[in-house]
Amino acid sequence: MDVSRAKILAGLLIGICAVSTAAILIKLCDAPSIMIATYRLGLASLMLVPFALHQRGYQKIATRHWPSLILSGAFLSFHFATWIASLKYTSVASSVVIVSTNPVFCALISHFLLKDRISKALAWGIVLSVAGTLIICHDDLIFSRTALYGDLLALMGAMFGAGYFLLGNRIRKHSDLISYIFPVYGVCALLLVFLSIVFHVPFTGYSARTYVFLLLLAVVPQLIGHSCFNWALRYLSAPLVALVILGEPVLSTIFAWLILGEKLTSGKP
C-alpha cells in the first residue's frame, strides 16, 4: 500500500513529540530505573492485547522472523534499561542528546554488515554527532564522574536502540504494525520483569503520582511515539527513521527547562 509523504511526515512528527515526553516523565517517577522500564513496556503490552487478539495478524508472521522479533525485543529491553538508568546520573539534555546518536550506529551497521552505502550528508551527520557526543562527555567528565557514567549508559542505550531499529526495519517489510509491536513489546516486558526479579526490585510500594507517570509513559512515548516510528519503518530506512529522532533532544531539553527547571548545560542537575 502506497503511503503519501505527508502522512509519513505527520507520523514521524507525532512520534517525535510523543517520545520527547519520556525523559521528563521518567525524571518525575520515584521508582528505580529498571522498574520504570518494566512498567512502561508491561502496561503498553497489556494495552495491545485486545488489538492483537482481534486482528490475529501475529499468527501470520513467518517462522523465520520469530528469532528476529525476540532479538528486537531484547535490544529494546537493554535500550530502556541503560537509557532510563542514565537519567538518574546525568541531565535530560546530555542523556537525550547521546542516546539520540543511534543513527550513527544504524548507519555504520548498515554499511559494514548490510553493505548499504552511506551518503555524504549522512557521513557528515555522523561526524557531527560523534563530535557533539565527545564534547558532552568531556564536559561531564570535568563536571562530574557521576554524570560521565550517565553519559556512558546513554551511549549504550543508543547502541541497543540501533539494533532494535534495524531489526524492525527488516521485519516490518513483511508484517503489519500490530503483528510486529505486540510480540516485540511483549518480549521486552518479559525480559525487564525477569531482570527486576533478579535484582530484587520491588514491583509495588510507589506513590500514586508515580503510577500515573508510569501509565503516561506506557501510553504517550511508547504506544504513540515508538509505534509511530515502527509504523514508519515499513516505508523508510532504519538510519533515516533514527535520524528523525535527532529532534527529540531539542524538545526534551525545552520540556526539562520548562517543567524541571534544568538549565541548558551538561552534567547532573
**Secondary structure of 130-165 in HEC code, one letter for each residue:** HHHHHHHHHHHHHHCHHHHHHHHHHHHHHHHHHHHH
The whole-model pTM stands at 0.87
**DSSP-assigned letter for residue 267:** S
d(CA 251, CA 265): 15
Mapping DSSP to helix (H, G, I), strand (E, B) and coil, where does residue 89 land? Answer: coil
Give the pLDDT confidence score for residue 140 in this predicted structure: 54
Give the pLDDT confidence score for residue 56 in this predicted structure: 65
pLDDT at 188 over 60: yes
Give the pLDDT confidence score for residue 269 in this predicted structure: 41
pLDDT band at 207 (very low <50, low <70, confident <90, very high): very high
Q: What residues contact residue 84 under an 8 Å CB cut-off, 6+ apart?
A: 26, 33, 34, 36, 37
Give the pLDDT confidence score for residue 234 in this predicted structure: 92
Are 155 and 91 spatial neighbours (Cβ–Cβ below 8 Å)? no
Are 171 and 65 spatial neighbours (Cβ–Cβ below 8 Å)? yes
Question: b/e string for 14-37 if b means 16 or more Cβ within 10 A?
Answer: bbbbbbbbbbbbbbbbebbbbbbb
Range of weakest confidence among 18-32, 80-94, 161-175, 248-262:
248-262
What's the whole-number mean pLDDT along residues 183-208?
96
pLDDT at 43 over 60: yes
Q: Cell 512520534 sits at which residue? A: 15
d(CA 95, CA 267): 9
Give the pLDDT confidence score for residue 57 in this predicted structure: 54
Residue with the bigger pLDDT between 251 and 224: it is 224
**Angle separating helix axes 102-112 and 120-143, nearest 10 degrees:** 130
Instruction: For residue 96, give Cα distances in angstroms to 60, 180, 215.
Output: 36, 25, 21
90-149 per-position pLDDT tens digit = 888 788 878 888 878 888 887 676 666 666 666 676 676 666 656 655 565 556 778 888
Kindly state the cell numbers that stand for 262.
534544568
Considering 2-6, 26-30, 53-57, the range whose residues carry the highest mean pLDDT is 26-30
Give the pLDDT confidence score for residue 117 in this predicted structure: 67
d(CA 47, CA 65): 23
- Torsion angle defined by CA atoms of residues 252, 254, 255 and 259, in that order, rounded to the nearest 10 degrees: 140
What's the whole-number mean pLDDT along residues 235-245?
83
d(CA 117, CA 106): 12
Find the angle CA(179)-CA(107)-CA(19) to the nearest 5 degrees.
55
Per the prediction, the chain carries an average pLDDT of 85
The amino acid sitting at 34 is: I
Within 56-101, residue ranges assigned H as helices are 66-86, 92-99
- End-to-end CA distance of the chain: give it in Å, rounded: 47
pLDDT at 218 over 90: yes
**Angle separating helix axes 33-55 and 177-198, nearest 10 degrees:** 150
